[in-house]
Amino acid sequence: MDKAFIEHIEYLLCVKHCKIQTLSGGSISEAYLLETETEQFFCKINQGANALKLFQAEKEGLDAISQTKTIATPIVILCEAMENGALLVMEYIEPKRSDFKNMELFAHQLAALHQAPTDAAFGWEGPNFIGSIPQGNAKNTNWSVFYVIERLLPQLKMAVAKKRLSIKELPSQVQLLKRCDSLMPEVAPALLHGDLWSGNFLFAPNGTPYLIDPAVYYGHHEVDLAMTRLFGGFDPSFYNAYNEHFSETDGTADRQELYQLYYLLVHLNLFGGSYHGAVVSILKKYFL
C-alpha cells in the first residue's frame, strides 16, 4: 500500500499516523489491519470491476444481520469507491481460539437469527454475491422454485459455459424443479448468512460470536447448516446446541446434499475441476 493511499485512508478516517499491517486469509480482496494511537480498523481493498458493488452488498448484509439483534457483526465505518476498485473499513475484532462454550453460544445465536420474525418472501431486495460470483435473489413465495431458479440453474449454466460441466451432465429445469419440490417442505423464510463456513465467523476475546463476509438472503434455515458441514463440519457442541431450537425432519440428509450442491457448483466455477466429481455425484443421485 503506497504512501498516498495511506494518507487518503487517514484523511477519510480523520486520523494521523496510521500503521498498516497485511493480514492473511483474503482470497478475493486484500486485507489489512489499520492501527492508530487509540484505535484499530479492519480494511479490505478490491480492485475488480465489481469492487464497490461487492462491498456495498457486504455492508448491506452485515447491517441486515445486525438489525435482528440476534448475533453480532463488525460495524462498517467506510465503504468507498477508489480510482481503481473500492475499499471497505470496519471495526477490527481481534479473533481468539474458540472452545465448546463459544460454539454453543454461536449456535444459539445463529438459531435466533434463523427465527427472527419476518414477512419477507424467499430472496432479497436485489442481487448480491457469493464469493466474487453474482448471486441472483428475485423474490419467490415458493422455496423449491426459488432454489432451483436463483441458485442451481445459474451455477449449472455457468459451469457449462466455463466447460466445467458438459451438457450431458446437466439436468433439465423440469427435473430440477420436480425433484426439489418433492424433497423441500414448505418452510418459513429465515434470514441466512448464506456462506457459513469456518472462515466466515470469529470470536472476540470475550467470547462474543461475530458473523463476517455474508451472502445474505431469505431461505430455508437448513442451507446455513448444510454449508457448515461441507468441509468437515463444526464442533459437535455447535450442532447439539442448534438442535435445541430446530429438530431434524424427514429428508434432512437429502436436502443437505442438495444445498451443498450450490456451494460445490460455486467452488467448481471459481476454482475448477477438483470439485467436478462431487458435483456430478450429487447430480446423478438426485436428477439423472
Query: Is residue 276 within 8 Å of residue 268, measured between CB atoms?
Result: yes
Compute the C-alpha angle 183/189/190, nearest 5°.
110
Q: Rounded to an integer, what distance in angstroms lies between the CA atom of residue 109 and that of residue 72?
A: 9
Query: Of 195, 213, 235, 250, which residue is the catalytic one?
Result: 195
Terminal CA-CA length for the chain: 50
Q: Rounded to an integer, what distance in angstroms lies between the CA atom of residue 62 and that of residue 83?
A: 25
Instruction: Report the run of H or E that residue 52 belongs to, with start and end.
Output: helix 51-67
Q: Rounded to an integer, what distance in angstroms lies between the CA atom of residue 222 and that of residue 204?
A: 26
2 is catalytic: no
Cβ contacts of 67 within 8 Å, gap of 6 or more: none
- In 3D space, the residue among 159, 114, 147, 135 whose CA is nearest the CA of residue 257 turns out to be 147
Provide the β-strand partners of residue 81: 86
Q: Rounded to an integer, what distance in angstroms lies between the CA atom of residue 228 and that of residue 7?
A: 40
Query: Is residue 50 within 8 Å of residue 135, measured between CB atoms?
Result: no
Q: Which residues are catalytic?
A: 195
